[in-house]
Amino acid sequence: MYTIHSLSLLVLLAPILQGADGRQDRQSWDNLVTLRAGQKVQVKTQGAGKWKGTFLAFTADSISIHAKNRDMEIPRGEVQTVKRGSAAVRIRHTLIGAGLGAAAAVAIAVPTISEGYANDQAVTAAVLTMVGATVVGAILPAYSTIYEAAP
């Protein structure tokens, strides 16, 4: 039971792990200065959709990325959002998956416990559920928004 409480606490505290990303002014183009060349980014544009690639550079008028085996320069006026890969978001997703998996594991295993003995199949299903939910949380896309055009 101690493990479940610990996981629940971590899930509740996960937004704190996100750091300043969630608190900065997202409508400032100057936020792009925090990107490093080669960093994974996702750029959503008005017309062409979403581009995933690596950051190359930016100017006051455009952002340059390498996507789909070519370098692209996207004019600032077309950019709706710029997101970067985020370890903090990945950790949060993993912790949420672990917490949900632990809750499901308890729901599966506890009803089968009788007189201090748990059914082997129920325990196995509970463990696999917890591991599976944690893995799903870990592989979800993990980006944090650093620029968002004014509506």
The residues pairing with 64 across neighbouring beta strands, listed in sequence order, are 57, 73
Distance CA(11)–CA(28), nearest Å, equals: 30
pLDDT digits (tens, 9 = 90+) for 99-141: 998 898 888 777 777 656 667 787 788 889 999 999 999 998 8
| Predicted pLDDT at 12 | 47
| Phi and psi at residue 118, to the nearest 5° | -105, 140
Residue 94 is predicted with a pLDDT of 93
Residues in Cβ contact with 89 at an 8 Å cutoff, skipping those fewer than 6 apart: 18, 142, 143, 144
pLDDT digits (tens, 9 = 90+) for 35-55: 999 999 999 998 778 999 999
For tokens 């949380």, name the residue: 137
Residue 49 · residue 80 · CB < 8 Å: no
Confidence (pLDDT) at 62: 95
pLDDT band for position 6 (cuts 50, 70, 90): very low
- Residue with the larger pLDDT of the pair 114 and 64: 64
Tens of pLDDT, residues 71-102: 999 999 999 999 998 888 889 999 999 999 88
Percent of the chain residues past pLDDT 70, beyond the cut: 81
The residue type at 131: V
Classify each residue of 114-126 as buried b or exposed e, where b means 16 or more C-beta atoms within 10 Å of its C-beta. eeeebeeebeebb
Domain locations in the chain as residue ranges = 2-148
Question: Looking at per-residue confidence, does 28 or 24 come out higher?
Answer: 28
In the prediction, which pLDDT does 45 show? 94
The Cα–Cα gap between 40 and 27 comes to 20
Average pLDDT over residues 20-24: 46
Assigned token pair, 55 = 């950051």
Task: Specify the pLDDT at position 24.
Answer: 54
CATH topology assigned to domain 2-148: SH3 type barrels. (2.30.30)
pLDDT at 60: 94
